[in-house]
Amino acid sequence: MAIKRLFIANRGEIAVRIIRAAKAMGIHTIQAHSEADADMLAVRLADEAVCIGPAQAALSYLNVEGVVAAAKATHADAVHPGYGFLAENAGFVRALDAAGIIFVGPSADTIDAMGDKVSARQAAQAAGVPVVPGSKGRVETIDDAVDVAAKIGYPVMIKAAAGGGGKGIRIADTEAELRKMAPQAQAEAKASFGDGGLYLERAIQSPRHIEVQIMGDGTNAVHYFERECSLQRRRQKVWEEAGAECLDESTRAHLCDTAVALAKAVNYVGAGTLEYLYDSVTADFYFIEMNTRIQVEHPVTEMLTGTDLVQEMIHVAGGGKLRQRQSDIIRSGHAIEVRLNAEDPFLQFMPCPGQITGLRVPEGEGIRFDHFLYEGYQIPPFYDSLLGKLIVHGRDRQAAIDRLFTALKGLEIEGVKTTKPLHLALAQDASVRSDDFHTQWLEPWLASGNLKPTPEITGGTS
């Protein structure tokens, strides 16, 4: 059925993004919000809004029963979960199914299969996708972990079987470190995801983090090429690019083909991202996990290919077939996205919620700023610190970096500290400009004092 009334079960910039995509399709939008978010921009932009609970996410955005009840009460045809919160919660999808409401995303069974790293790994192997050498399934005891590590070789990465965002991950170089770190990883995974299950992988030294954007309609699937997401702090991405300059064309084609093969193998519906580690020394790549939702960094792919991914996922959720063949999807130029967080990069990235006292957004060809800000808006302290994403497009990577630097200089977010100085410094760094970095590059760069509060990168309060 075509979706006519869409309930947005998220907040912040992704809620604004979904509302704008849905309105362009002629769809009535219903914005969910907590008591703390009653004044957020998404509430103002939506056709209607409904409060789903108090500020605490557990009692509002994460409350399956409350969200489903609100969607039913507002006669929603479908629910878009955005990213985070309930976006990859199979129980939420089943509750919506029982209520006769469409979930804009894959089925509960697919989320179960691909959300668990062990079963996702098994699905990838069955589809012929290369995986990092590791345990065949969950590791139940420390002695089992030691046996696996002896077979695959140190260093090993200890990972939570469920969840993501870098939670539960440890790297052990020796058996002694493994015996010490595995219980810590179990405890963190249990606290974060309610599941203390672990599995082991060989740690690839200084890899690149490459991911492929796919879209499926349950029968067919296509890819929208790859993104490079290697600039990370505490395993959280801060700067993303499309495409990945480190790949040659044959490797790019093989990588993207494996992503489509896996999406087809699991009858995938909606937008999804397959994440890989790429060894630039050997030119080998390995599947690590699948995110069964729209990603924070999806705009760089939209800038690269000219496709509105949010509209496409709403279309297929309503029963539509893919509107593009693979041959229709063309790469053009280069795109970069940086995440602007309400954090002080000169004080260990301490969160800095507050009131937006001034806002100036850069405009022009190849510049986009996805955000949920307005002058006078009070940023609540209860949620993620992401304020917005600055995305630029250029004819090539160097032109995109130059445009990013100019756009950053023109972006002013007054009243709070932001991570703008970090991105200005990175845009001028010789290693970044020469594409010479990897997933472990940024933290030593920060620790070495490369980020300094100079007038060139501060230029004010933002």
The residues that are catalytic are 293
Question: Dihedrals φ, ψ of 13, to 5°?
Answer: -65, -30
Return d(Cα 294, Cα 271) in angstroms, integer.
Answer: 6
CA angle, corner 70, sides to 64 and 72, nearest 5?
100
CA gap 263, 313 in Å, rounded: 14
Pairing assessment for the beta strands 269-279 and 208-217 based on DSSP bridges: antiparallel
Greatest CA separation found in the chain? 60
CA atoms in the 13 A half-sphere facing the CB of 299: 23
CB atoms within 10 A of CB 378: 13
Pairing of strands 156-160, 28-34: unpaired
Closest by alpha carbon to 338, among 293, 277, 401?
A: 401
Residues in a beta bridge with 156: 172, 202
Strand, helix or coil for residue 154? coil
Distances (CA, A) of 157 to 103, 124, 145, 171, 290: 34, 19, 11, 5, 18
Q: Token pair for residue 336?
A: 């970069």
How many CB atoms are closer than 10 A to CB 20? Answer: 16
DSSP state string for 100-152: T-EESS--HHHHHHHHSHHHHHHHHHHTT--B-SB-SS-B-SHHHHHHHHHHH
Cα 201 to Cα 26, 107, 163, 408: the distances in Å are: 46, 28, 16, 38
333: Cα separation from own chain's centroid: 22
Opening angle at CA 404, ends 310 and 23, nearest 5: 25
Distance CA 301, CA 274 (A): 14
CA distance 209 to 228: 6
Q: Do 208 and 188 touch, CB atoms closer than 8 A?
A: no
Structure tokens given for 246 = 């480190």
